[in-house]
Structure 1
Amino acid sequence: MPEQKTNELVRKIFEAYLENKNLRKTPERFAILEEIYSRNDHFDVETLYIHMKNQKYRVSRATVYNTLELLVSCDLVTKHQFGKNMAQFEKSYGYRQHDHVICIECGKVVEFCDPRIHQIQTMVGDLLKFDVKHHSLNLYGFCSDCSMARKVNESAKTAKPEEN
């Protein structure tokens, strides 16, 4: 689906959600929605807030937090806890099911999609008589950069000092 069509649809979904909950449809809320749907990455609240401030949007940190919670509630944004006590978010409307590999050193998040995981989901659902709608899989390890740095540090620790 083209990006402009998606943006129009998510805006309509958000408008309907706000109306249904008797919440105000403020320009700030829609600016946050637009900003999120212009991104293709995972982000935390602070990163989004700073980016919006740099773009000269007049939004408070509280507005960003509150709007994100509303967007999560109406399934336009997904909230992840990848560790380190910091929530990460990503747009979710029209987004394919995918999973994540997270570096436990630097926090890098890489998405991947493997059809075998969907097959396992279906098989487990059939076996346990569940109508499984979605899943969440996060794998934790060291990215190649951090893995290399760890090896260099380990080598430096085990190297014997030169004698005079």
Structure 2
Amino acid sequence: MHPTARKFADQVRDSHGFEATIEEFPEGTKTADDAAAAVGCDVAQIVKSIVMRVGDETVVVLTSGANRVDEASLGSEFDAEQGSVRSANPSEVKAATGWSIGGVPPTCHATDCPVLADPTFESFDRIWAAAGTPEAVFQLTPDDLRALSAPRFVDVFE
């Protein structure tokens, strides 16, 4: 197992008591379509960890692979000024989450940034999320997602 995926598995076990079964795909799971094809699920079952800046705050938005973040809706959730919402750059992602773009898991972040989640996940028994690298994913349930990430389920998606 890749050392970064092992680091995630250890962190999620130690901090939440969750035993993540990590699957690695050398061809990569960088996009939601790639991940869905690799694990054999619907693209909507893929948890994309989108890291955004809303004003001066970093927010992790857990988006279904079938959806996109609506920046105006996200800004409204935080009473942010129009135009103050943007994607975090790679160094901001790493600083806020401790993980690099493409491998950000939905939990075990370096900072206590707010986490929002797509209500779409609640319609599935199983979902898959990144496990620290662009080649590693793990399976969980919507209840697991709630327990691990304590997200606020809101509709801020296109």
- In terms of Rg, which structure is larger? 1
Check whether TM > 0.5.
no
Q: TM-score, normalised by structure 2?
A: 0.26
Q: Which has the higher helix share?
A: 1
Greater length-normalized contact order (CA 8 Å, ≥ 6 residues apart)? 2
Q: Which has the higher strand share?
A: 2
